[in-house]
A and B are shown apart, each in its own frame.
Chain A
Amino acid sequence: MNLLELLGYFNYWVFAIILTIGLYAIIIKTNLIKKLIGLSIFQSAVFLMYITMDKVEGGTAPIIQAGVEDQIFSNPLPQVLILTAIVVGVSTLALGLAMVVRISECYDTIEENEILDAD
C-alpha cells in the first residue's frame, strides 16, 4: 500500500479521532454546557463520515449542467441526509441548552456533581 492510498483513509481517521474527542468530553466533563459542546463535536464527526462517503473521484457537486456530457457527480443522497440533519441538530441543541438554563436557575450551578449533591 503506497502513501497516496493510505491518505485515502485520512478522512476516516479524522472522523474516528474527532468522534472520540467528542465522546471523551461527554464522559469526563461535569459542566453541562461542555457536555453539549462535546455532543455537537460528536455529531459533526458523523456528518464528516457521511460526506466523506459521497465523494467520487473526479466528480463534482451534483448539479447537472446543460450541454455538458459524461459528467461524474458525487453522490447526492448522503448530502441530503446531512443537510437536514444539521438544521435538526441545531434545534435539538437549543432544546438541550434550554434545559441547562432551567437547571442553572433551579440549582444555581451547571456542574453535574454539584447538582447530584444538592438533590
Chain B
Amino acid sequence: MIFIFAVFLLTMLVITAVAIVRAEDLFVAVMLTSIFSLLMAANFFILDAADVALTEAAVGAGVTTVIFLCALSLTGDREKPRQGPRWVAIGTVGVLALLIIYATFDKPRLGDPDAPVHQHIAPWYIEKTTEYMDFPNVVTAILSSFRGYDTLGEVLVVFAACIGVLFILGVSPPRKTQQVTTKNSGLRHHLIPQVVGRLLIPFIVLFGLYVQFHGEYGPGGGFQAGAIIATGVILYALLEGEANALRAIPRGVLLGMVVGGALLFGGVGVVCMLMGGAFLEYSVLTADPVFGQQLGILIIEAGVGMAVCGALLSIFHAFAARESLS
C-alpha cells in the first residue's frame, strides 16, 4: 500500500518539476517549488529518513520560499519568453536522462539489505551508539559526535554564506532617487492571517525548542530546530511587519547568535583538547565518558541551532531591508 503511495508521490514530484520549469510567472514557479519541497519531504519520510523530512519541510517549504519571494519583490516576477530553438537542449538532457536510467540497472534495488552502502561503516555506527552515547537517535549521534568535523564544516559554510549575503546586500543600492516608501506594516490589516498566525507562532517556536532539546531521543537536532524557530520568527515578521520583528530580536542579537553558535561548537572542541582528548572528543569532558558525550552533544547542538537560526533570520532581514530601500 505504502509502495503505491510512494509511486504516486514520485509521479507528482515529476509533474511539479515540469510545471515549475514551464511556468512563465516566477511567483507561480516559487509557489510550486514550495509544493515540490513538501512532496519531497513526504518522500523522505516514506524512505525512513524522519530527520531529513523534518528539515526539508521546514527549510524547503518554509524558509526557501520566503527568501525567493523577497528576491522576487526586488527583481520583478515576469520571465521574458525565450526565442530560438530549444531542441538541442531537450536532446542533450533527454540523452543524459536515458543514460542515467540505463546506469540505474546496475544499482542495487530499493531496500536491498545487501547493497554495498549498508556493508561499510553504518552498522558499526548503529551498534556503537548505545555503548558510547546511550541515547536512541543514531542520526544525531553520527551528526554531532562520530562525524563532528563534517558538521563543524557545514556550520562554518552556513556562517560564511550568511556573512556573504550581508556583505553583498549591505552596500547601498545605486538608485538615482531615494523614494520615500510607505512603512511596511505586514499583514496587520488582514484578519484571518492575523488570528491564525498569532495562534500558530508560539506553538511553532515551542515545537522548535522541543526538537532542539529532544533531538537525542526522537527525530530532531540543531539544524531542524534552527530552521523551525526561524520559520516562526519569519511568520511573525510577515504578520506584524519587519520593524516589529527586529524590535523583538535585533540585528545585533542575530549576528551574535551566528558567531556565538559557530564559536560554541569550535570552543567545545578546543576545551576537549585542553582536557587531554582529541578535537571534539567529548568523552573527556566529564569523569563518566558516556555523560561527557551526552553533555558535549547537547552543547554543540545548541551551537548549531543558534548558528542556523541566526543565519537564516539574518539572511531574511537582509533581503527584507533591501525591499524598503529601493
Using CB atoms and an 8 Å cutoff, list the residues of chain A in contact with chain B.
5, 7-25, 27-31, 33-34, 37-38, 40-41, 44, 47-48, 51-66, 72-95, 97-102, 104-106, 110-111
Contact = CB atoms under 8 A, between A and B. Distances in A.
Contacts of B7: 7, 10
Contacts of B224: 83
Interface string B1-21: 001001100110110011011
Given A20-B93, A87-B223, 7 more contacts: A14-B13, A54-B117, A80-B139, A83-B55, A91-B162, A97-B67, A102-B169
B12 to A, nearest CB: 10
B151 to A, nearest CB: 6
Closest 10 CB pairs of A and B: A91-B161, A8-B109, A57-B111, A16-B100, A74-B48, A12-B104, A62-B138, A20-B97, A84-B154, A20-B93
B168 A95 contact: yes
B26 A31 contact: yes
A66 B312 CA distance: 36
A41 B118 CA distance: 27
Contacts, number: 295
Nearest to A45: B17
A31 B79 contact: yes
Contact of B142 (A77, A99, A100): A77
8 contacts: A16-B101, A37-B20, A41-B21, A55-B111, A63-B50, A79-B139, A83-B52, A93-B64
B111 to A, nearest CB: 4
B90 A24 contact: yes
B236 interface: no
A87 B6 CA distance: 25
A32 to B, nearest CB: 8
A29 B82 contact: yes
Nearest to A103: B75
Instruction: Tell me which of B21, B37, B224 has the highest count of chain A C-beta atoms within 10 A of its own C-beta.
Output: B21
Given A19-B100, A90-B63, A31 B80 contact: yes
Q: How large is the interface on B (under 10, 10 to 19, 20 to 34, 35 or more residues)?
A: 35 or more
B265 interface: no
Given A21-B21, A63-B136, A99-B168, A27 B92 contact: yes
Given A27-B92, A79-B51, A110 B76 contact: yes
Contact of A83 (B109, B129, B139): B139
A63 B130 contact: no
Given A16-B101, A33-B26, A37-B33, A98 B164 contact: yes
B290 interface: no
A41 B20 contact: yes
Contacts of B189: none
A18 B14 contact: yes
Contacts of A61: 48-51, 219
Contact of B161 (A65, A74, A95): A95
Given A37-B33, A77-B122, A13 B82 contact: no
B118 A75 contact: yes
Given A33-B26, A101-B75, A12 B107 contact: yes
Nearest to A21: B17
A101 B110 contact: no
Interface in B124-138: 125-126, 129-130, 136-138
A40 B26 contact: no
Given A12-B104, A55-B111, A97-B319, A80 B142 contact: yes
Interface string B87-105: 0011011101100110011
Interface stretch (B39-47, B245-253, B267-275): B39-47
Nearest to B10: A14
Contacts of B113: 56-57, 72
Contact of A17 (B6, B14, B49, B158): B14
A84 B154 CA distance: 7
